[in-house]
Chain A
Amino acid sequence: AQKITQTQPGMFVQEKEAVTLDCTYDTSDQSYGLFWYKQPSSGEMIFLIYQGSYDEQNATEGRYSLNFQKARKSANLVISASQLGDSAMYFCAMSLTTSGTYKYIFGTGTRLKVLA
């Protein structure tokens, strides 16, 4: 079954500290993409970072990095130097394109609270 699992419903982190949000995925496809999105209370899903299944290096975007461990099927998001504005829901998602069909699967999310 194709699935994204986020086991941390909520996380706290002190301002300026780093935090890791966990994500594991399940698919038998060889080609897939992994994404992280941030959803503030306003509701909009903000794209943060992307990792392709064939990418050998971990993706980085500013303070965000994706710790991709293909053999373990994990794609954890690391936020360095947390800021108060990082408080939000974070969703891990997987994109699959097989035989012209399309799937975009989201996890249940992790709520991050940054403490001053």
Chain B
Amino acid sequence: DAGVTQSPTHLIKTRGQQVTLRCSPKSGHDTVSWYQQALGQGPQFIFQYYEEEERQRGNFPDRFSGHQFPNYSSELNVNALLLGDSALYLCASSLRRTGRTETQYFGPGTRLLVL
């Protein structure tokens, strides 16, 4: 049973560039959430995708956008990169259930460094 996978594992970009991160959810899961984790901090919720639509969004600017594909995989795009965007980006998948708490399973993350 494949877990959550993310690519690439590491990425180095310069300020102003754009980046795309990819995530494949755990088998059987239909919901993907993205988090940003700065060094020494807990993960911060960016947004969540379900049925190919953004369902919920955290306190992140429009430079952060995403997409979910029919096979439930997802992409996170960040435009006009800033130094402060350097972080570990985590993808989490879950199975959406009405009225029940969802357990999220995380991928290994993508470490983004902006120079």
List residues of chain A with CB under 8 Å of any chain B CB: 4, 31-33, 35, 37, 42-47, 50, 52, 91, 95, 97, 101-109
Contacts and interface: CB of A to CB of B under 8 A. Distances in A.
Contacts of B104: 35, 47, 95, 104
Interface of B: 33, 41-45, 48, 55-56, 88, 90, 92, 99-109, 111
Contacts of B42: 4, 91, 106-109
B111 A43 contact: yes
B108 A42 contact: yes
A43 B109 contact: yes
Nearest to A4: B42
Contact of B106 (A37, A52, A108): A37
A16 B97 CA distance: 39
A95 B107 CA distance: 18
B56 A44 contact: no
Contacts of A43: 88, 90, 108-109, 111
A35 B42 CA distance: 13
18 contacts: A33-B103, A35-B103, A43-B90, A45-B90, A47-B103, A47-B104, A47-B105, A50-B101, A95-B101, A95-B104, A97-B99, A97-B102, A102-B48, A103-B45, A104-B45, A104-B104, A107-B42, A109-B41
Contacts of A31: 101
A32 B101 contact: yes
B101 A102 contact: no
